[in-house]
Amino acid sequence: MKNIVIIGNGAAANSAAETIRKHDLEVPIVMVARENLPEYSACALPDCLSGWVDRSQLFIKQLTDYPQMGIQTRFGLEIKQIDTRERILISDQETIAYDQLILATGSRAIIPPVPGRDLLGNFVVKTVGDIDAILAYKARKVVVVGSGNIGIEVAEALQISGCQVTIVELMEAILPRIFDQEPAGRISRILSDRGIQVLTGERVLKISGDQRVETVTTDCRSIACDTVIWAAGVKQNVEVASAAGVKLGELGGIEVNSRMQTNIDGIYACGDCIESIDMLTGYPTLSLLWPNAKRQGQIAALNCLGQEMAYEGAVSLVAEDIYGITAVSMGLISRALAREEIRVLEGQDNELYWRVLVMDDRIIGMQTIGMSYGLGAVMALMKNRTPLSEFHRVAADPDLARRVAWYLPAQRFLQE
């Protein structure tokens, strides 16, 4: 019987495996992954550093769950080569034959080529292994390089567990890919209020120390520390695939069509390693988000099984908990858009700061700080591409509004 092999054991891989099994109880599934661990939530890793989430809580599956679902696992195995003609995967230990292959190889954290990056005390936060290493190291004074969501969460987690923390961000504001400057500034103030030093517009030049990290030198200053956490971005794990002739896109991820098919017959790809289409702009994007990975896994699986199903496109939804204050970014941010075309609806009450970006009479992004009702409704309006004029027409008429009652909570964010 033909089999399906999945490389990877993250959100996309597991979602694909589960979807296949849900629709086909027979087909053999093999999952291959470098780490010998059951599926865990990468998003919760920083929470594990602070102890808010227990290490055991990270795991979504047990190793025994896989055989129970009829999935063979080859964990702890690194695929070195894909022979697309023979349809086999080659590792140092064994070769695995496949009929259809789903690449869900994910991404890895990168450390830029800065002198001293090999010293003891340099870490990234991408896997459970990284967390174990950091916890074992017992950091005191930490410099976090980069301020994406992982950087911010790690900084907070380490500050809570008693470390002195400095964030160094190359761009003018923190969270540069997720928030506009105004909300980013507000988040930055929350962090500084708790004693985290936030340095923006600074470049890390070198790390120095005798075997262990002792100083981080930026273009503005030297910071004494014992630990550097690199949260300066990730790189798609595409080398093996690329070497096998799988085509990459302009952004460096695996290129797939809307059915998650690569250029090579029988090979699908999903998750962090691919370039997907942004639902709102229609342009390729590297979405590194859990919900998108899960959805892409489903799409790849269904198409693998011969059910034609097209991906709606990726949409960004990031929720950050910053010292108990929720910061949310959905859709696009100003930097990703042509400024002259967007209208900004901004407001604040005692629960929430909000900033809605509108383009062509449609919501294209929203950022909030605080927690409130009605955000899910805005998300839905954005995904549905509902024209704002239409929204207002319906919401203004009590009889119509009752019928689409979920419009109502969104009203206050969308007033001109």
For residue 112, CA distances in Å to 139, 170, 206 come to 21, 12, 10
Binding part of the chain for another protein, among 80-88, 91-99, 250-258, 322-330 by CB under 8 A, reads 322-330
Handedness of CA 26, 6, 283, 185 (dihedral sign): positive
Residue 64 found at the interface with another protein (CB under 8 A)? no
Per CB under 8 A, the list member of 3, 27, 41, 346 interacting with another protein is: 41
For residue 242, CA distances in Å to 92, 264, 407 come to 19, 11, 46
Residue 266 found at the interface with another protein (CB under 8 A)? no
* Complex with another protein: residue 283 or 406, whichever CB lies closer: 406
H-type helices in 138-289, by residue range? 149-160, 181-193, 239-243
For residue 136, the SS3 value is helix
Per CB under 8 A, the list member of 36, 60, 219, 252 interacting with another protein is: 60
Q: Which residues 6+ apart lie within 8 Å of 161 measured at CB?
A: 49, 50, 51
Residue 323 found at the interface with another protein (CB under 8 A)? no
Q: Least distance (Å) from another protein to the CB of residue 348?
A: 8
Per CB under 8 A, the list member of 83, 94, 351, 360 interacting with another protein is: 351
Is residue 113 classed exposed, middle or buried when 0-12, 13-18 and 19+ CB atoms within 10 A define those classes? exposed
Q: Least distance (Å) from another protein to the CB of residue 53?
A: 6
Residues pairing with 76 in the sheet: none
Q: Least distance (Å) from another protein to the CB of residue 62?
A: 12
Binding part of the chain for another protein, among 162-170, 239-247, 270-278, 375-383 by CB under 8 A, reads 375-383
Query: Pairing mode, if any, of strands 79-83 and 254-255?
Result: unpaired
Residue 203 found at the interface with another protein (CB under 8 A)? no
Per CB under 8 A, the list member of 6, 13, 17, 44 interacting with another protein is: 44
Binding part of the chain for another protein, among 63-71, 159-167, 219-227, 370-378 by CB under 8 A, reads 370-378
For residue 73, the SS3 value is strand
Residue 374 found at the interface with another protein (CB under 8 A)? yes
Per CB under 8 A, the list member of 200, 326, 342, 346 interacting with another protein is: 326
* Complex with another protein: residue 277 or 318, whichever CB lies closer: 318
Q: Which residues 6+ apart lie within 8 Å of 289 measured at CB?
A: 314, 316, 317, 318
Tokens of residue 256, six digits: 């797939």
What is the helix, strand, coil percentage profile of the chain, to 5? Answer: 30, 30, 40
Residue 186 found at the interface with another protein (CB under 8 A)? no
Residue 93 found at the interface with another protein (CB under 8 A)? no
Residue 108 found at the interface with another protein (CB under 8 A)? no
Q: How many residues bind another protein (CB under 8 A)?
A: 40
CA dist 403 and 248 (Å) reads 46
Interactions with another protein, residue window 329-348 (CB under 8 A): 330
Per CB under 8 A, the list member of 64, 68, 211, 350 interacting with another protein is: 350
CA dist 295 and 301 (Å) reads 10
Q: How many CB atoms sit inside 10 A of residue 111's CB?
A: 16
* Complex with another protein: residue 218 or 367, whichever CB lies closer: 367
The residues of the shown chain that bind another protein, judged by CB under 8 A, are 14, 41, 43-44, 47, 52-53, 57, 60, 290-291, 294-295, 317, 319, 321, 326, 328, 330, 349-351, 371-377, 379-380, 398-399, 401-402, 405-406, 408-409, 412
